Structure 1
Amino acid sequence: MKRLHSFILKSFLGPLAFTFFICMFVLLMQFLWRYIDEFVGKGLDWTIIAEFLFYVSATLVPMALPLAILLASIMTFGNMGENYELTALKAAGISLQRIMKPLIILIIFISLGAFYFSNVIMPIASLKTSTLLYDIKKQNPELILKEGIFTNDLPKFSVKVGKIDKNTGMLHDLLIYDHREGLGNTDVTVADSGTMVTSADKLTMNLTLYSGNIYQEVKQKPRDRDKNHPSRRIKFDEFKQNISLPGNDLKRTDENRFKNSYRMLNLGQLVNQEDSLNSIIEEEKNNFSKSLLVRHYFQKEPKNLLNDSIKSVLITEKIKDADSLFNKLNPSKKLTTISYALDKGRKARENIARKDNELSGQIKWLRKFTNEWHRKFTLPFACFIFFFIGAPLGAIIRKGGLGMPVIVSILFFIIYYIISMTAERFSKELVLEPVWGMWMSSLIVLPLGIILTYKATTDSTVFNIENYIDFFKKINPLKFFKKKNE
């Protein structure tokens, strides 16, 4: 049995490592395609890019690992079924459960490792990724000049070049707007030709212009646009100027700015944050209900509204019922009272609606922390479920390689992912409770794993695709038409 277990483990670990890296590569390329515009023209060092890809890869593990387990298990047992190894083992009296036993133990350890990764490593990777992506987005792009197009990559300058000589680097028909004063297009430079050379430390742009004019309008205040201002023109044969650049060194942001986000917290921190947010929401509810009672329900009227006639009624007849008091009023006073009450009711309704929207936003934000708490457990559970779908399914379809297993795995994973994303969105929108929103996909897929395991154990032919292929092969429409013609 030890040799058998060793053989099964070797047969599984190879495809698992291979499919895991394939899934990571595909997901990473998808991420880069989404954020490729943030990297182009930033002059980032390769170490920065490598660091960012490393952190992003860590955040993609929750999607790649379950898919890799599903694909590897289908490939492993599909190969064994295609090579009649499962048939030989079952003929020797070894059940499918005993064949799967070493892999079940391995999947348990992988699930425990996935839980540790999701709770400890994932928050750190998410924090590093968010911080570094924020810094990259803030990074000023390198100056890239294009013919006939204004370029705003140079800080506080707008540059347009008519033609660029690629051999000499000479720029022709230059038009430069200087916005350093912040007064609009009041400083314009037109030159026949020129050069722009960045210093070695990339902190200064050495600008040299030939045969041109500088047009300057003297404005004292930005709001004085409609007034006439003095202007001057400066003609030059050669003009040199040094422009300060912000530099291409990436400025790192303090990670404490993002550390309280729900994706950057572990289980204990999520619970503490949920308790704090719940306390804030409950306190706001209590304060609002008290203010609502004071302002719109129990209210002390001004003395000028409580006239002598009502005072006398209250004193002599000792009326405590509001309806009886209302009936004692004359028609004009009744109309005034009703109008005043309606006005107060409308204001109360508006305040309640506004506060309800505020509290709904806070509850939705709280729901993200609750969903993230459940997500720590759904990842290891998904690894466990996908194994019990892939292993029996591979034994049933009896096809190895990257053909049928890939198609089946992607199909199951897409179904699982769609259900998961839909239910999680319902949870975020307060349609479902977090426990149902985050566990819906697992609860739907779990019975399928149980059924497939049972069918594979009992050698059921219900899910044997070869039987259906043979059935459709027997249905030959040509034979049917030949018999009919005869």
Structure 2
Amino acid sequence: MFILLLQTIWLFISELAGKDLDLSVILKFLMLASPRLIPMVLPLTILLSSIMIFGNFAENYEFAAMKSSGISLKRAMRTLSVFIVLVGIGAFFFSNTVIPASERKFINLRKNIVQVKPAMVITANQFNDLGDFNIKVAEKYGDNDQYLRDVIIHLKDDKPGNFVVIKANDGELKGSTESDLVTLVLKDGNYYNEVQPTSRENKRKLPFAKVQFEEYVLNIDLSELGTVDMNAQNYRKGHNMLNVGDLRAEIDTLSTKVDNEMISARSEVSRRNGVDDLSKNLEKDSIKKFTPDRLNLLSLFNTREKMQIASLAHSNVDGVLRRLNSVENSLKVKRKYLNKYEMSLHDKYALGIACVLLFFVGAPLGAIIRKGGLGLPIVIGVTLFLTYHFIGVFAKNSAEEGGIPPFVGSWLSTFIIFPLSIFLTYKATTDQQIFNMDIFIQPIKKIFTKRSTKFK
């Protein structure tokens, strides 16, 4: 847990550094980041601890003493097995209640921290949301990064959309660290204003205003950035922020949206190409049979009419293709979100099952290798867990893109360790080795024995 918390700090160091945050905010950040690490920490902990404890028992001949007293390995594992099942059930309830609540608070805390006392008022090559402005610059230079190059500014309005855009070749930031106002001086640029008329006729003309300037001064008020409520909860819809009931409802909603969009697109395409209207008022027996040679409809029209028909057909086909491409891109995004929600639902169940199965992998393996402590068990345990973890990562990435079903993406690594747990438990309870090395070692020994005898 400590190692993964350090990794979390390095992962989000850009959001924490230079913000002049209180210690309580940093501790809260780490506390809210801890539950999201449990799905990785808990299975690894169970695997390593079971290998180390049972390996230590076998190394110190504790199992031999148990067997001499009539206690089999099954009986020795019975109490721990019940305990691990309870841990698996607890892991499900933890992932269904604590993790969504902490994830929601963690995401909102990160969003709030981003707005607190930014180390740099404007960051290059990205849009910066500052008060009533969205600002993007291509480059910052100078001793204090006060000079800007290729500035683009969108002014916010009550209406949705970017109607006012300011573009300038150069700019300069002026201000004091003790003031909440930053002055931005723009040079050699243009001011674009897309006018919003009230009448429909004027809207068709798409009126706009354009002003060219040599110097333009903007005052940016940053006073609101320092008064951010760290407890504000504005984001509540992420796939990791919902419990099982909310996930099922969201999955149903997204599935309905996907189905409705497909039905709407199908009906629109059919209406455009006229397929549904071909057989409206026709009876099957009333249509005459034509051979391909006789059915030449274009011969009924002159050259000009043929050009009009071809142009209309091309326009219709182009419109249909554009609509299909638009629907395909929209459905791709929505299905990706839907896959994430479905995997998040299955992950809550898979966590508890994985904890139980990894115990039945680690405990028999420790009894077989007969090594405890922090040496060989750590190597074997980490190797097994990394294999399990990376299989899960690759499966989820493929499921997110639609390569495999979301159910398979969440359960694939668990399905793989299930037969391994049965195999190792069987080998350990029947006092068998995993592999009989004598099959490979005996022929080699015979060869060296024959050569040694011959040499003597």
Provide TM-score, normalisation by structure 1. 0.68
Q: Give the SS at the match of 1:264.
A: coil
- Give the Cα–Cα distance (whole angstroms) in 1 for the partners of residues 186 and 353 of structure 2: 69
Alignment deviations for residues 324-352 of structure 1 (CA, whole Å, 9 cap, x no partner): 77448437469555664455334323322
Assess, with a 3 A threshold, how the Cα gap between structure 1 residues 319 and 96 changes in structure 2: closer, same or farther.
closer
Q: How far off is 1:280 after superposition? A: 1.4
| Bigger shift: residues 364-373 or 318-327 | 318-327
Alignment deviations for residues 271-311 of structure 1 (CA, whole Å, 9 cap, x no partner): 1111111111221222221111111124989xxxxxxxxxx
Q: How far off is 1:124 after superposition? A: 0.4
Any conservation in 1 of the 2:189–2:214 contact (CA below 8 Å)? no
Alignment pair present for 1:438 and 2:410? yes
Match of residue 79 from structure 1: 56
| Residue identity in the other structure for 1:440 | L
Match of residue 357 from structure 1: 329
- 1:24-173 to structure 2, matched below 5 A, reads 24-141=1-118
Alignment deviations for residues 183-215 of structure 1 (CA, whole Å, 9 cap, x no partner): 9657879xxxxxx886xxxx779xxxxxxxxxx
Q: How far off is 1:137 after superposition? A: 2.1
Match of residue 348 from structure 1: 320
Alignment pair present for 1:330 and 2:307? no
| Bigger shift: residues 118-127 or 243-252 | 243-252
Match of residue 230 from structure 2: 252
| Residue identity in the other structure for 1:351 | R
Alignment pair present for 1:282 and 2:254? no
Alignment pair present for 1:415 and 2:387? yes
Alignment deviations for residues 211-246 of structure 1 (CA, whole Å, 9 cap, x no partner): xxxxx999998654458x9xxxxxxxxxxxxx9866
Q: How far off is 1:354 after superposition? A: 2.6
| Residue identity in the other structure for 1:457 | T
| Residue identity in the other structure for 2:13 | I
Q: Give the SS at the match of 1:260.
A: coil
Alignment deviations for residues 242-276 of structure 1 (CA, whole Å, 9 cap, x no partner): x9866755433742x32111111111111111111
Q: Give the SS at the match of 1:382.
A: helix
Match of residue 233 from structure 1: none
Alignment deviations for residues 415-460 of structure 1 (CA, whole Å, 9 cap, x no partner): 0011111111111111111221211111111100000000001111
- Give the Cα–Cα distance (whole angstroms) in 1 for the partners of residues 310 and 188 of structure 2: 61
Any conservation in 2 of the 1:74–1:405 contact (CA below 8 Å)? yes
Match of residue 462 from structure 1: 434
- Give the Cα–Cα distance (whole angstroms) in 1 for the partners of residues 173 and 25 of structure 2: 38
- Give the Cα–Cα distance (whole angstroms) in 2 for the partners of residues 224 and 340 of structure 1: 42
Paired positions, count = 388
Assess, with a 3 A threshold, how the Cα gap between structure 1 residues 272 and 83 changes in structure 2: closer, same or farther.
same
Assess, with a 3 A threshold, how the Cα gap between structure 1 residues 423 and 342 changes in structure 2: closer, same or farther.
same
Q: From 368, 374, 396, give the equivalent of 2:346.
A: 374
Q: How far off is 1:320 after superposition? A: 6.5
Any conservation in 2 of the 1:66–1:382 contact (CA below 8 Å)? yes
| Residue identity in the other structure for 1:59 | R
Any conservation in 1 of the 2:388–2:413 contact (CA below 8 Å)? yes
Q: Give the SS at the match of 1:386.
A: helix
Assess, with a 3 A threshold, how the Cα gap between structure 1 residues 220 and 352 changes in structure 2: closer, same or farther.
closer
Q: How far off is 1:357 after superposition? A: 2.2
Match of residue 250 from structure 2: 273
Assess, with a 3 A threshold, how the Cα gap between structure 1 residues 484 and 250 changes in structure 2: closer, same or farther.
farther
- Give the Cα–Cα distance (whole angstroms) in 1 for the partners of residues 318 and 7 of structure 2: 52
Assess, with a 3 A threshold, how the Cα gap between structure 1 residues 26 and 481 changes in structure 2: closer, same or farther.
farther
Q: Give the SS at the match of 1:60.
A: helix
Q: Give the SS at the match of 1:423.
A: helix
Match of residue 395 from structure 1: 367
Q: How far off is 1:463 after superposition? A: 4.5
- Give the Cα–Cα distance (whole angstroms) in 1 for the partners of residues 146 and 400 of structure 2: 50
Assess, with a 3 A threshold, how the Cα gap between structure 1 residues 328 and 221 changes in structure 2: closer, same or farther.
closer
Assess, with a 3 A threshold, how the Cα gap between structure 1 residues 187 and 132 changes in structure 2: closer, same or farther.
closer
- 1:12-23 to structure 2, matched below 5 A, reads none
Alignment deviations for residues 104-161 of structure 1 (CA, whole Å, 9 cap, x no partner): 11001101100000111110011111111121222223589xxxxxxx9x999x9976
| Residue identity in the other structure for 1:330 | L
Any conservation in 2 of the 1:52–1:129 contact (CA below 8 Å)? yes
Assess, with a 3 A threshold, how the Cα gap between structure 1 residues 160 and 272 changes in structure 2: closer, same or farther.
same
Match of residue 125 from structure 2: none
Q: Give the SS at the match of 1:258.
A: coil
| Bigger shift: residues 56-65 or 280-289 | 280-289
Assess, with a 3 A threshold, how the Cα gap between structure 1 residues 224 and 112 changes in structure 2: closer, same or farther.
same
5+ residue gaps in structure 1? Answer: 1-23, 145-151, 162-173, 190-195, 206-215, 230-242, 302-313
Query: What's the Cα RMSD here?
Result: 4.3
- Give the Cα–Cα distance (whole angstroms) in 1 for the partners of residues 146 and 30 of structure 2: 38
Assess, with a 3 A threshold, how the Cα gap between structure 1 residues 68 and 176 changes in structure 2: closer, same or farther.
closer
Any conservation in 2 of the 1:69–1:383 contact (CA below 8 Å)? yes
Alignment pair present for 1:292 and 2:269? yes
Assess, with a 3 A threshold, how the Cα gap between structure 1 residues 320 and 131 changes in structure 2: closer, same or farther.
farther
Any conservation in 2 of the 1:159–1:175 contact (CA below 8 Å)? yes
Q: Give the SS at the match of 1:252.
A: coil
